[in-house]
Structure 1
Amino acid sequence: MDGRDPSNLRGDKITGDRYYSPEFAQKEWDHLWTKIWHIAGRTADIPEPGDFLVHNFMQESVIAVRQDDGSVRAFYNSCGHRGMRMVSESSSVDTFHCPYHGWKWGKDGTLVDAQDADVDFKRGNPCGKLKLGELRCDIWGGFVWYTMDDDGQSLEEYLEPMVALYRGYPMDTAVRVAWYRIELNANWKFVTDNFSESYHTRTAHPQVPPWIDQDVDSARHEMWPKGHGRTVQPMRPSLSDRPAGGGNAMFEAELRKWDIDPGKYETYEEFALQGWKDLKAAKQKLWAEKGYRHYEKMNDEEITDSPHTVIFPNVTISFLPDNLVFFRSEPHASDPEKCYFDLWCMAFPVEGQTEVESIMAGPKPLREVMECEHREFDGGRGIPELAGQIVYQDMELAENMQAGMHSRGYKDAYLSDQETRIRFFHEVLNDWLNDSQP
């Protein structure tokens, strides 16, 4: 559907209580979070049998573990004896060993050893019989997904049409070069709202227009019945926000990198528009020679543009020609006015490249980051190294936006057409909360 056409909307109000009401948050847990597909982590984090991920979500904790046959299975992080949480962070084991009474569970979730198993259980030895609670688990895009819903849609059905749309991106080969989890004083929905429009870019991110054209008539806005949506943005200079002096060093450098002389264009319009077309042709011709192997199955749009994509309800991926940027917001376990914001900056390997521009976190070595940086935003003081980055600017807006939801003066959002996807997100959320999800 056209993501700029308000006629696709019912007109459900976006009221402030959605962002702070404990009752509304409970409805989200009951009807949304226990039904959707969640991302536990990346397949690259669990390459060998016994390697496992721990994903803590609100009061729940899930283990996703690599099996001997290479598959991945997910289990509740709760011992089948007395419910003890068995592990606290991702690692690698042959068996999961409960720290309370010593019960041991195999990688396949089966109980393999228990104290006094043969002599103290009148119902019979539980070993080989008891199993950990298992969840449905699947893989897409180099991510490990799971759902608490035993009877819901398959992952591919849930993601439709993302699997088909992004089949050309070798997502599983991307290297995570920056990894943050940041506590914010804002409801999780602020993040999805923010990434469902680029109307705020000119105000909040003045560094963006020189290299991504998000003008209202340039970007393409799309949305799908299940709540997913994207803004397809040409990676070329905006004609509305021209750098002082008329030049554009960033785009000039990109053209030169692909053997295009930026001085050959007579006007700024030709430089931006024809230069962008020439870049498509050059990349298609020279990608193998220059070591950009990940371009092999990507089309003209994918190698020069940025389809900024929201996967309902709380995952956003910026697909750039040479980078993937993963954003996720998750609710706080007890306070609806807090959330956790995940930022994973990933880059596709290029031959001869040892450092990359991570887009959201600055220059980084081209190697996997092994540990997550856990921070509190704290007005920006918690992540000073990200100051001035796009994502930092977004987080700066979050707390005042959250405060504004409490105002008696706020009744509903008055949206521009290019913000249509915000109301659509809330309408799909309402459908889930009423058990009538698409």
Structure 2
Amino acid sequence: MNAPCAIQHPRVSPENLGDPATFQRLLAQEKVPVPAFLKPAPAAGLGDADLAVDRYFSADFHRREMAGMWPRVWQFVGRDEAIPNAGDHLVYDIGDRSVIVMRGEDGVVRGFGNSCLHRGIALRPEGGHVEQLRCPFHGFTWDLAGAMKSLPCSWDFKHLEPARQDLPQVRVETWAGFIFINFDKDAEPLQSWLGVMPAHFADYGLDRATTLLHVRKRIPCNWKLAQEAFFESFHVRATHPHIMTFTDDVDSQYDVFSDNVARCITPMSIASPNLSGVTEAEVMRDCIAASGRMSDANGAAHQLPAGMTAREYIGEMNREAYAAASGVDLSQATLAELQDAILYSAFPNFQIWAGYCGNIVYRAIPDGQNPESCIYDVMVLGRHKAGEVRPAAPAVHWLSDDEPFSSAPELGALGPVLDQDMRNLPHMTRGLKASLTGVVTLASYQELRIRAHHHTLDKYLAD
């Protein structure tokens, strides 16, 4: 595991730092055509109102979310390669609801309510593989398409209509190998819900994506706090100082495209304005060693050629490695798409890094009915070559409550960074409860995604 790089450079006074136009200036230096979607989105116009602190711990607010929002939104359940064969399934729990997402004999993925139609016992305690769905209490069974297969003592159930004994289903739709469910039969299609994302990700080969790792952990905070920890980058100075040598944190670009979709772009392989005196060689070394998502992790093995910037070197390193892994010519890829932190979010709780490889996926799910706990997932996607069989997804690595993310070796340098974020979250809950103002005050620009998230949430709660 890569150890965080020690900061040995003078820090600059932070009060007047930050230039959202920096990323566009970097795009102007690209030697290949720049996709139009990397340009800034129009101003969102969401205002500067404060947020009430009880959104993050109130049991009543949690109940309102469970009643007014979660039953009506598209929710990311898992990756297609996690259930490749008939009978493979995932169990997705949200509040008191539970859904079995299963691949049928016909290859179709369906979502069944995880409840026996007889006495209501959960049909599956967790994901896995079955030949049929069988009630563990009395043995009622359904086939992989949810049709009633066997009804014990059927003579005693003459009052039932056979056609109504199939398992009820929720909507299931997919995008780029991601499986989503929605409890609302009248919800707009997933592709429409995702807005600009399918078009923005069209060239990134997600049809050949494969899960490289999947780590899950219970976090003692509200699900929104866990989500919002990755909604802005200007916390890097205080929370992740060791990545400032290669992360241009306060110069990030923030975009809101719709009620559902927003984005943050943080330039990488560029030293933070918070530091002075960082050399290009140090930027290159530290980015390779400590970013956690470049094509190599041994910074000491690389030497920056004279006259070349760290951004150019790492971009070309990634271009070569990603092209070899995917079997795709990436000569048209921008340096930005090969290395920058281009992080999209789809309401309410799906986040994915754009680019040609190393796509990190985040998801926070409420932990049952506890407003001060959530289940947090981190995945990383790679690529396989066209024509090759997609590798099986790795098993989910469930960390215990007292295990840090850095104890998962597959996360590499990402583990310590995640731990730094997670250490803040319990203290945020404590501080929010202790607030004497009763409100959270947000930055107008750098915390735009947080404001947009609550703006959309309020629309559901107002109905």
Q: TM-score, normalized by length of structure 2?
A: 0.78
Work out the CA distance in 1 between the residues paired with 2:237 and 2:396. 34
Distance in structure 1 (CA, Å) of the matches to 2:265 and 2:177? 22
Partner of 1:86: 123
Equivalent AA in structure 1 for residue 144 of structure 2: K
1:291 positional shift: 4.1
d(CA) in 1 for partners of 2:144 and 2:326?
38
Alignment deviations for residues 91-129 of structure 1 (CA, whole Å, 9 cap, x no partner): 222210101111111111110111122x22333673x65
Tell me, in whole angstroms, the C-alpha distance in 2 between the residues paired with 1:434 and 1:202: 37
Aligned pair partner of 1:389 in 402, 416, 431: 416
* 1:35 is the counterpart of 2:89: no
Structure 2 residue corresponding to 1:406, chosen from 433, 436, 448: 433
Partners of 1:326 and 1:194 in 2: how far apart?
14
Contact 1:315 1:326 survives alignment (8 Å): yes
Match of 2:447 in 1: 419
Q: Secondary structure at the match of 1:375?
A: coil
| Aligned match for 1:323, one of 333, 358, 365 | 358
Checking the alignment, whether the CA contact within 8 Å between 1:195 and 1:310 is kept in structure 2 is no
Aligned AA (2:67)? D
Aligned residues of 1:2 and 1:223 also touching (Cα < 8 A): no
Task: Count the aligned residue pairs.
Answer: 404
Indicate conservation of the 8 Å contact 2:265/2:342, yes or no.
yes
Name the structure 1 match of 2:304.
262
Residue 165 of structure 1 deviates from its aligned partner by: 1.2
Shift of 1:384: 5.2
Is 1:209 aligned with 2:244?
yes
Matched AA of 1:319? A
- The answer (yes or no) to whether the contact 2:139–2:152 under 8 Å persists in 1 is yes
The residue aligned with 1:358 is none
- In structure 2, the partner of 1:122 is 158
Q: Aligned partners of 2:172 and 2:415: how far apart in 1?
A: 38
On the 8 A contact 1:179/1:343 being kept in 2, the answer is yes
Counterpart among 175, 195, 198 of residue 230 in structure 2 = 195
Measured in 2, the distance between the counterparts of 1:433 and 1:33 equals 10
Identity of aligned residues (%): 26
- The residue type equivalent to 1:27 in the other structure is R
Deviation per residue, 1:35-84 (Å, 9 max, x gap): 11112211111111121111122211101111222221111111122221
Aligned to 2:266: 233
TM-score when normalising by structure 1? 0.82
- Say which SS state the counterpart of residue 398 (structure 1) adopts: helix
Contact 1:179-1:344 within 8 A present in 2 as well: yes
Q: Secondary structure at the residue paired with 2:225?
A: helix
**Cα displacement string for residues 162-205 of structure 1 (whole angstroms, at most 9, x for unaligned residues):** 11111122224333333222112111110222211111012211
Residue identity opposite 1:138 in structure 2:
E
User: Do structure 1's residue 431 and structure 2's residue 459 form an aligned pair?
Assistant: yes
Partner Cα distance (1:367, 1:79) in 2: 30
Secondary structure (helix, strand or coil) at the match of 2:216 reads strand
1:373 aligns with 2:409: no
Pick from 40, 61, 77 the counterpart of residue 114 of structure 2. Answer: 77
CA spacing shift, 1:287–1:336, aligned 2, 3 Å: closer
| Structure 1 runs not aligned, ≥5 long | 352-365
Gaps of 5+ in 2: 1-38, 409-413
Residues in 2 aligned to 1:251 and 1:66: alpha-carbon distance in whole angstroms? 40
Q: 1:98 to 1:421 in 2, by over 3 A?
A: same
